[in-house]
Each structure stands twice: as structure tokens, then as C-alpha cells.
Structure 1
């Protein structure tokens, strides 16, 4: 059966002499994998549309096993994301989250729109750290681990300087902080941004300036939640951490 869908290439793997297996996150079909025959060959009509981050319209044949790419038309190549090392690193983390955390063939139109908007935001030089933190928050929500940030998870208080407890699943007030001595005490600005991330639509993200110390707290908070609750060793995030380590 021939099917047509809009999709974003979230993984592209060489297969055999001249073929590729591409994983798409699509609007109508969710995450699917397709065989793109001859896509590695320079003159192939599939070469451009099977590159990582490409947004296009795909026609494929779906039988009982893996589908086969029949035709692909570019909507947005996102070539700038592949040509810039930093943009490529952040974008790779964005698509890896979707690839590794979203089940196959479970459509989610809103998540598709968020992924599409996130890649565009990085290409447009919006703050890539903020983009991926918003996406991380969406993935935590999808998995059922969205942190409780509006009030203390232990007593319900919303007073005093809050500390983020990964193990308790949200913020603790000063009186309850002893329940997790390792909780990260949050500056008010950091907590405000974390709460905003839970409601933010990446299609509406604008230019934002965040202080270095606030960004450091945001990163510590989000990475802790992702590591503990998702349990995934992120290949692309490891590369981001190497770039940070060596100030590249």
C-alpha cells in the first residue's frame, strides 16, 4: 500500500553498498523506518531527502515489514544544521530524544510540531540550550515524569526558596528540604524559567537572554531529571558535554 506523509529524518544509517535506512518522525504515522534504495549514490533522487534533520513529504510502500521509500520532496533541507558543528550537536540531541523515547507508529501531532519548531529555532540562532530544555520537559511529560514545580511536593507549601529534588519528583520548601539533602537549591529566576518551560510552545519561542549562572542551574536540573528518570545514555549529549568541557 502506498502512503504519503510529512516527516522529519531523525536517523539515517548506511545499509549495504548503496542504500540507507532512514527513521522518520511523521505527522500522520508517528515514528517509522524506511529502506531508501540507492540513497548513498551521488545521483540518487533520494540523496537529499534522506539527510539528517530534513523535513519533507514522503511517499512510501508499506507492506508487512519495513516500508520502502518511493519518493521524497524537500520542504526544508535544514542544511545549516548539518554545516555548523554546534547547531548539529544540539539538533542531534533533539532528534535523538524523539528517536529513543517515542514508540514506533504512535502518532502525536503536537510533538511533531514541537520537533519541527525546535529544529527551526536552532537554525534561526535562538538559544539552543533553552530549546533543548523545553524539549526535555516535553519528553519528561510524555513519559509521566514531569516535575512538580508549583508547590512543595511534600507539604504543598509555595513559600520560601525552593530546592529541586529529582528523587522526590519536584520542589521542596525549606521546611521539607531535609527529605533530600542533595536537592538543588534554585534561584527564583531558575524556578520561574523551569515553570515556563512546562507551558512553552516551541513555535512561539522568541529571542531570550539568560544569565550564565541561571543557564548552569537549568542545565544541572534538567540533566539530573533526564538521567534519573529516562535512564538513557545519550550519544549526542555526550558530544555536547565534550564541547562544553573544552570550551569548543
Structure 2
């Protein structure tokens, strides 16, 4: 069996290793999230070029003997450097990487999420005004891949359809709670009917280049941004910030 394998994917995070090497956290088509060593990656003019940069979709060749795989070479398939044009696009692009790195388990294959990241990077370039709704939708898709997609139409306590009245969201129970059941429950996230409708519409909207996003005021999306961040943090057992908080940090995490 050959010790050389190839795969394509993106870089989630890098860290220094030794004097000139890097440990690279990748999200690839065949293996999902895993780590590999890029020897000499910190040297000027190294053989990897921009294949290990953020916002690069690359094909990698690995050598595995014992321990962590070695990245032998990287070949760029597509660059999304246009995301560096504005701080909002830059941070939105990095936020996708942050979410996958923090809550997605190692060695779990998920090609659809990889493809979705590539689609969203392209959409961020074309539709900057849609970034916040798309980030809400992305975290819901991550929750689906993890098997913890929330119930958004029926009360998780009484199983009646939630319509026409303000309701709540239970992060621990994993979904919406009707007004009647909400009077007896604790630690609930208030959710106005309009916010619930926007959330349901986001789920029903296929992600693609021609996507027509549900209309809603910015305040509704800001509330949903906080909600889905808290929900995914709880279910993924790893704290992730909401995007508004993420914007307040330094560029390039």
C-alpha cells in the first residue's frame, strides 16, 4: 500500500512547529478535519507557495509513515483573494474556518460542508450585504452535519406547531418552545415571530450562486447570529463567538 495519498481542501489554521515548519489544520474532501506537518513552510520561497494560505482551495500530496502526515506539495485549485478587499469579507471568510475548526470533530468526512464553504466565499464576494444571513445559515448546516439540527416548527415540549404567537428557543432542548410551554420552562431565548419566520425561511433556502435570501431587518439577523452561535457552542461543546463579536477581534486569527 502506497504511503503517498492526495486530497483536496482548505486550510483552517496553522501554527509554528520547530524552527521552519508548520502544523497545518486542514479540512479536506476525503478526511475532513485533520492535522499535517508542512516542513520548511516558514522559509521564504518555500515550495508550498500560496497553497497553504487562507482562502485557497488546493490539492495536496501527503506522505504518511508514522505519526502526523507530511505535506509533500500543494497545488492551488482556486484562490479567493478577493475576500481581502474589505474587512467584512475577510472576517466573514475566516469565520467559516473558525466555526469548522472549533466544533467539527477530527477525521469526519463531510464533503458538502467543504463545497458550501467554497460557494459561500464566492457569494461573499458578490453579495456583501448577504453575509450575516449566510453565516446564520452556515452554522445551521454545521449543526445538521453534526446531527443536532434544531426543531424550528414544532414545540419541543408539547409537539404543537408554533405559529402566530411569540415563542422561545431552548438551547438545551434543541428547538422552539411555544408561548404556553415557555411559562413553565427555564433558560429560554426569547424569539419574536418575525425572527422565527426568518430563521425558517433561511433553512428552506438552498445555498447557491442564485440564492434569494429571505428579507428581514438587520436587527433580526443580529439576534439570530447570537442565537445560533450559542446553540452551536452548546451542542458542539466548544465556545464559538457570534459574528458580531468576531468582527471586534484583530484580523487573521
Asked if TM exceeds 0.5, the reply is yes
Give 1:27 deviation, angstroms.
0.8
Give the TM-score normalised by the residue count of structure 2. 0.83
More helix per residue: 1
| Paired residues of 2:152 and 2:200 also in contact (CA < 8 A) | yes
**Partners of 2:10 and 2:210 in 1: how far apart?**
20
Report the 3-state secondary structure (helix = DSSP H, G, I; strand = E; otherwise coil) of the residue aligned with 1:151: coil
- Name which of structure 1's ranges 177-186 and 19-28 shifts more when overlaid on structure 2: 177-186
Which residue pairs with 2:19 in the alignment?
A: 17
CA 1:240–1:185 in structure 2 vs 1: closer, same or farther (change >3 Å)?
same
Does 2:91 correspond to 1:85?
A: no
Does 2:167 correspond to 1:165?
A: no
Which residue pairs with 2:236 in the alignment?
A: 230
Which residue pairs with 2:5 in the alignment?
A: 3
Counterparts of 1:35-114 in structure 2 under 5 Å?
35-82=37-84, 84-114=86-116
Unpaired runs of 5+ in structure 1?
A: 244-248
Aligned pairs, number: 243
| Paired residues of 2:103 and 2:233 also in contact (CA < 8 A) | no
**Partners of 1:31 and 1:48 in 2: how far apart?**
20
Which residue pairs with 2:156 in the alignment?
A: 153
Give 1:200 deviation, angstroms.
4.2
Does 2:214 correspond to 1:211?
A: no
RMSD value over aligned CA atoms? 2.5
Q: Kindly provide the CA deviation profile for residues 51-71 of structure 1, in whole angstroms up to 9, marking residues without a partner as x.
A: 123111111112222111122
**Partners of 1:235 and 1:40 in 2: how far apart?**
29
Unpaired runs of 5+ in structure 2?
A: none
| Paired residues of 2:229 and 2:241 also in contact (CA < 8 A) | no
